[in-house]
Amino acid sequence: MSVEQVVAQGAEHIAVHGMDWTTKELFTYPNEFIYWSIQIVMYPYMTGLVAGAFVLSSLYHVFGQKDLKTIARFSLVFSLALLPVAMMPLLLHLQQPLRNMNVMLTPHFTSAIAAFGIVFSTYAAIVLTEIWFVYRVFFVDQVNALKGKEGTRDRFMYYLYLVLTLGAFDTGDAAVAKDKKAVTIMAGIGIPVACFLHGYAGFIFGSVKANALWMSPLIPVIFIMSAIVSGIALCMLTYIIIMEWKKWSAIIAKGKGDETVQLIAGAELDVITKTSRYLLGFMVAAITLELLDLIFRGYTAMKSWDILRSVMYGKDFVNIFVLQYGLGNLVPFLMLLIPGTTIRRVFFATILVLFGVFMMRWNVVIGGQAFSLSFAGYMHYHLPIIPHNLETYKEGLFGALTVIATPFVLFWIINKVTPSLEYKFNNE
């Protein structure tokens, strides 16, 4: 930089990362801002959804939980749709997004983030492989069905499916049996990898010794549990929406009293009741661990407790105790527990659960930066709503909404190739 530029720097306004959404109270170090904002809230939230969706599907494939059969295939494909989205918040957050490949090129493995590229790719490979095995016979069928058909769309689909078969056209019993076994193995490997993927997202926070709120060996475990909770809840929610939609289209097509309508409704309730039992189980585990962490901090009352307490019981009280624990945990917990499950109640309960897990991520990520490292001051986060530059878009409400919307778009596209809701499988 030339001298003139250095001088000129003084005159023009220069945007400092974090200044747009941080306000300070009392004493904070000059360089302290809320550097990790909404996208870092989204990051563990989205990886959590991926991991949770996958674990749900594996409960069927590995442990043979027959009651999850219908939702299993759906959640497997959905976890594929969520996969790229787990990475998106990080890309939106990076100050140098074009250098993202450096994480894979020169991974510095003493950093929790370094493993991200590798764990993430491994996990992506596992999910893709598993889906391939589940759908291989379907691909072959499609190739056979589309063979010789004219029309651009059909030609395109034909070649797409042709590539997807990877040249494996054998649909004999022996080959199909092999597929099935491979699915089980992939799902089996997938569970620890999914848990690792997310557990280490927790480790990214738990290992930051400079941060009094994050530093805890429980954080990774808490993150895994709440990840599974959110993953299951999202699968249930999406499943309900899709089944309702199908039910309504059946009603419109065939009238309310039709047999298919009853069938769909019955199946839906059955799947949902069974899945919600797993949801409840994981919720208990997650909340127990979170409370343990909270009680432990209060009881040991280390140097940082004074400021932590003032944040938790004071400034962030509504966020933590009303929104997260109350509205996000307790209310849906009771809603699911009360006998006589109805679709509508589960629908609202899963929305609340998803909200609760989101608030938990928020309270960890933003709450961890709500106080100064000096323990003598506070910082407040103001989520940028109207974007007035690239940064306030990327790390603002609209950036977060982009991230939330993407998996649904992806699912819609993927579902065109590997239908996860209607196709009857001959190998299952």
Binding site for another protein (CB under 8 A): 1, 3, 6, 9-10, 13-19, 26-33, 35-36, 90, 93-96, 99-114, 116, 125, 128-129, 132, 136, 166-170, 175, 178-179, 182, 204, 207-211, 303, 372-376
Closest to another protein by CB, 96 vs 152, is 96
Q: How far is the CB of 332 from another protein (least distance, A)?
A: 32
Closest to another protein by CB, 126 vs 240, is 126
Q: How far is the CB of 2 from another protein (least distance, A)?
A: 9
- The residues pairing with 22 across neighbouring beta strands, listed in sequence order, are 381
Phi, psi of 122 (to 5 degrees): -55, -45
- The residues pairing with 24 across neighbouring beta strands, listed in sequence order, are 379
Q: Are 380 and 367 in contact (CB under 8 A)?
A: no
Q: Is 1 exposed, middle or buried (0-12, 13-18, 19+ CB in 10 A)?
A: exposed
Closest to another protein by CB, 183 vs 336, is 183
Q: How far is the CB of 156 from another protein (least distance, A)?
A: 22
Q: How far is the CB of 136 from another protein (least distance, A)?
A: 8
How many Å apart are CA 53 and CA 211, to the nearest integer?
A: 30
Q: How far is the CB of 101 from another protein (least distance, A)?
A: 8
Closest to another protein by CB, 114 vs 331, is 114
- Any idea which residue has 């490979």 for tokens? 125
Closest to another protein by CB, 126 vs 283, is 126
DSSP 160-175: HHHHHHTT----SHHH
Calculate Rg over the CA atoms of the chain.
24
Closest to another protein by CB, 208 vs 265, is 208
**Helices H / strands E in the chain, number of each:** 15, 2
Q: How far is the CB of 111 from another protein (least distance, A)?
A: 4
Q: Report residue 188 as tokens.
A: 């089996």
Closest to another protein by CB, 348 vs 375, is 375
Q: How far is the CB of 311 from another protein (least distance, A)?
A: 16
Q: Are 179 and 137 in contact (CB under 8 A)?
A: yes
> With b meaning 16 or more CB within 10 Å and e meaning fewer, what string describes 2-37?
eeeeeeeeeeeeeeeebebbbebeeebeeebbbebb
Q: How far is the CB of 251 from another protein (least distance, A)?
A: 41
Phi, psi of 21 (to 5 degrees): -125, 10
| CA nearest to 76, candidates 55, 104, 96 | 55
In three-state secondary structure terms, 314 is helix
Closest to another protein by CB, 324 vs 372, is 372
Closest to another protein by CB, 45 vs 333, is 45
Closest to another protein by CB, 166 vs 267, is 166
Q: Are 269 and 86 in contact (CB under 8 A)?
A: no
How many Å apart are CA 413 and CA 400, to the nearest integer?
A: 21
Q: How far is the CB of 213 from another protein (least distance, A)?
A: 11
- Any idea which residue has 């199909």 for tokens? 176
Q: Are 144 and 112 in contact (CB under 8 A)?
A: no
Q: How far is the CB of 15 from another protein (least distance, A)?
A: 6
Q: Report residue 325 as tokens.
A: 């624990």
